[in-house]
Structure 1
């Protein structure tokens, strides 16, 4: 079986075809035939060698949708032929082995590309809104990084809870954010968000890369506000602030999260922006990572 990985860190050209042994499930494992893989910034960081402890060679990838080919003797609840999605490891391959506890059945009215595109950004956005930020009805929620896929999903999920959302993003995202029903958009390339939004937010959600701008987050927060951010900490402040650093957690399981997200997507209560679908080939993964290295809007999915 074929897989796509690399033996050294670097640019997209490091990808090569790799031979994968025939996979056999044991215990609670399932083997799936890969149908679609979502490309994420985590994949890019690993390719560049930014993740400590990553041994070479690597078959990367975390988000996968596929058809079950084999089930282990301890598997219950899944059968051969079922289409499932999972957040796991080593997904840039024709077949993937994973614990069945990680898998979620994909509704028949969602395509593999749609389902795959939602996995990592959807899990981050859902857990941020429901757990880290604990968004409540009628709160004013300010979302930084609103133009990203995580940002747009965060906005939609907060709106569903009855929050009033204010988006901070580059002006090129204005039309997309308006289409989501956001009534106030602050374009940071045209005006200073702190000047516009000082002391406005009950909740600040910062999903920009590395949660940059903690001082600005504090300036936009009300007294006793909640700030949820990718940043590990905030600058010192005299304000009473509840700070939550966004990180992987099983307080809400990935499986429960994906089940809810798929329900919202298939019923039209949630949308995800797919920038491009690429072929499930070596060239497709190289092209996908080339696009991943450049500014892009929406998710990049490699699919059969």
Structure 2
């Protein structure tokens, strides 16, 4: 099968399209014929082995990538199921977390897959797992957004941001989206009552105070973010603005925890959703919102499998609109 392979840590150009052996589905596993795969910041961090401190935790490998085939978010059709798998059969349309998603086939455990909503394309379905689950956790689980609250989403035009704006609007919040000028109409169409062009307006220097801020960018110091937050508000930090390749966002998270201990404001980190944590319940919650017509994936650009390196580079540059997706077959 064709797959995008990473033999070493490095930039997107180190990715290579190769012929590799098709994975097999062991007990409890499902082999998926991948039709589309999404690109996340997670992918370029894994590709570069960045930050270095994360290598010591074992998730990405120490001297070379732990997973030879890149990618994690996929949508496709069940090809085969292993012993003990219930509720999934060959031919089922599924989406979820599939390590090695940048390939024609990928294998994962059954609980990390859910059915694709009927009206979605595979490209739209692939856009959901990591970004939509992260947005759901940031807005609903950590932010605990309620009706009537003022919610600001920094980075509203990106992958997580486009989902977060919609989820906050569904919860009947008054949403302010911060994005580039080119994305203002899109963010408003997703349910934002107010949209700020970050190049012209700095929300941390205005008089408005927000009950919940979801920061996907990390382009403002913590002190200024707190000034934009209501006295008992919640800041949800989505790991943006990593201060270096050695420790990444660890320093920022430590500062968040230290200040949180001495303020009425609640300062909470949220790490992007990954297949290492419980995911099925959140995946089902996301697809339920899609089926109810309350959540729509925004696919900004698509690339062929052979263009995966360019797609990862596009996401790493930090200005992608919505989700960037690889069309596999």
Task: Name the TM-score, length of structure 2 as normaliser.
Answer: 0.83
Task: Describe the shift of the 1:27–1:297 C-alpha distance in structure 2 as closer, same or farther (beyond 3 A).
Answer: same
Matched, 1:194 2:234: no
- 1:92-241 matches, cutoff 5 A: 92-198=102-208, 200-209=209-218, 212-231=220-239, 232=253, 233-234=255-256, 236=259, 239-241=263-265
Residue 276 of structure 1 aligns to a residue whose secondary structure is strand
Residue 206 of structure 2 aligns to a residue whose secondary structure is helix
Query: How many residue pairs get matched?
Result: 299
- Checking the alignment, whether the CA contact within 8 Å between 2:30 and 2:78 is kept in structure 1 is yes
Partner of 1:29: 29
Matched, 1:258 2:266: no
CA distance in 2, matches of 1:269, 1:243: 28
Task: Describe the shift of the 1:171–1:239 C-alpha distance in structure 2 as closer, same or farther (beyond 3 A).
Answer: farther
Residue 145 of structure 2 aligns to a residue whose secondary structure is coil
CA distance in 1, matches of 2:272, 2:127: 18
CA distance in 1, matches of 2:119, 2:259: 49
- Checking the alignment, whether the CA contact within 8 Å between 1:187 and 1:193 is kept in structure 2 is no
Partner of 1:296: 320
Matched, 1:247 2:271: yes
Matched, 1:275 2:284: no
Once the two structures are TM-superposed, the CA of residue 248 in structure 1 deviates from its matched residue by 5.1
CA distance in 2, matches of 1:176, 1:22: 40
Matched, 1:40 2:63: no
- Contiguous gaps of at least 5 residues in structure 1: none
CA distance in 1, matches of 2:40, 2:142: 21
CA distance in 2, matches of 1:236, 1:276: 39
Task: Name the TM-score, length of structure 1 as normaliser.
Answer: 0.89
Task: Describe the shift of the 1:185–1:24 C-alpha distance in structure 2 as closer, same or farther (beyond 3 A).
Answer: closer
- Checking the alignment, whether the CA contact within 8 Å between 2:139 and 2:145 is kept in structure 1 is yes
Residue 126 of structure 1 aligns to a residue whose secondary structure is helix
Residue 162 of structure 1 aligns to a residue whose secondary structure is coil
Once the two structures are TM-superposed, the CA of residue 111 in structure 1 deviates from its matched residue by 1.2
- Checking the alignment, whether the CA contact within 8 Å between 2:131 and 2:272 is kept in structure 1 is no
Matched, 1:89 2:114: no
